[in-house]
Amino acid sequence: MESFRLLSLRYYLVFIMNFQFKVLKKDKNSRARLGRISTPHGEVNTPVFMPVGTQGTVKALTPERVKELGAEIILGNTYHLYLRPGHTLIKKLGGLHRFMNWNGPILTDSGGFQVYSLGTLRKISEEGVTFQSHIDGSKHFLSPEFAIEIQEALGSDIMMCFDECTPYPADHEYAGKSLDLTVRWARRCKEVKRTSNQALFGIVQGGIYQDLRKKAVEKLTDIGFDGYSLGGLSVGEPKDLMMEITEAITPLLPEEKPRYLMGVGTPDDIVECVNYGIDMFDCVIPTRNGRNGMLFTKNGKVVIKHARYRNDESPLDSECDCYTCKNYSRAYLRHLFIAKEILAIILNTIHNVRYFIRLMEQIREAIKNDNYDAFLKDFKSQVSGLQSEND
């Protein structure tokens, strides 16, 4: 009897340690869906927005504050954490969760986009990418195998395959070759993966060409991954083209796997792409815009430096439940920003991150009630405000 209990406990531990995804509900009038991701560090309700913690921190926020704001998962970055403080050090100190004191799930980007953004400071070959550090100019080499080695050392719950982020513009021939390289790299990533408790997502490239994107889906699903992401979007192409690709390709991704749109985006982008069936989003917009004094509200953007807020005693957003809106006026937030006080960045970031998390909560509630189409229309009508008179 005792051995049976031990065996049952062993299987239970294996079960809870492995990555899982389950579609819980589909909206009746759209492609939007509710899901749940299970990881060794907890569960994530989808659709979800992942605050970006590139270098082991969501800028201006403690991990405790990020959790209080409702975030269930954050994003870290292979490229940046490899350069400093180094993945070997982080592994020695107990992995990224312990290192940054975050006990929830973490997704790590493979570094492909960061290497792409280096431009002339990198050289692509079949084996990988040789690049110069943006910090000190030192030379480094990142291959699919090394990208997985770094992410395994970091101990993230979800790892991304190393890919070539296809630039915009790129002609069909270049985009095709780039896609083929990404697929070969993806296969190498899967072959070298050693851990059983870390998920691995494939990245669909192909530029703005739907035939290439469809080819990518076919090849990546043949290899088989725990989830699939759309990469190489929001890199300079017109928004309507990004939406066209997302709408056309998302339904081709396996229904039983999570679908991740990388680096997107604005609130209106998110609301629209949930309608296409996307489950996961990340973007630096809430934190970056917070530092720059651009804040999201139910009525659109507020550029807090504007003189119109000098005597404004009202909260930033009367419907927001964040610490900033509960305790401070627009006049005070403007004063802090104009005075270049550090507290301005903190309070602005608290609000923006909470705005995005609340938006996802509202999205999930609308899907739960089979009301997403009405939610989408209402959001669009309200938020012509996101390009409002405050800009």
Catalytic sites, residue numbers: 109, 282
Q: Return the closest-CA partner of residue 107 out of 280, 273, 350, 360.
A: 280
Report the distance separating Cα 7 and Cα 60, nearest Å.
45
User: How open is the CA angle 367-370-376, to the nearest 5 degrees?
Assistant: 65
Q: Which residues of 97-111 are buried (b: 16+ CB within 10 A; e: fewer)?
A: bebbebebbbbbbbb
Measured distance between the N- and C-terminal CA atoms of the chain, rounded to whole angstroms: 69
Report the distance separating Cα 45 and Cα 48, nearest Å.
6
- The token duo for 142 is 């990142």
CB distance 245 to 209 below 8 Å: no
Q: Is the peptide bond before 251 cis (omega within 30 degrees of 0)?
A: no
Report the distance separating Cα 242 and Cα 232, nearest Å.
10
CB distance 202 to 223 below 8 Å: yes
Place of tokens 């290497």: 115
CB distance 21 to 33 below 8 Å: no
| CA atoms within 13 A of residue 33's CA, in its CB half-sphere | 22
CB distance 186 to 161 below 8 Å: yes
CB distance 110 to 151 below 8 Å: yes
Cα diameter, the chain: 74
**Identity (one letter) of the amino acid at 14?**
V
- Helices and strands (H and E) in the chain: how many: 16, 16
CB distance 230 to 11 below 8 Å: no
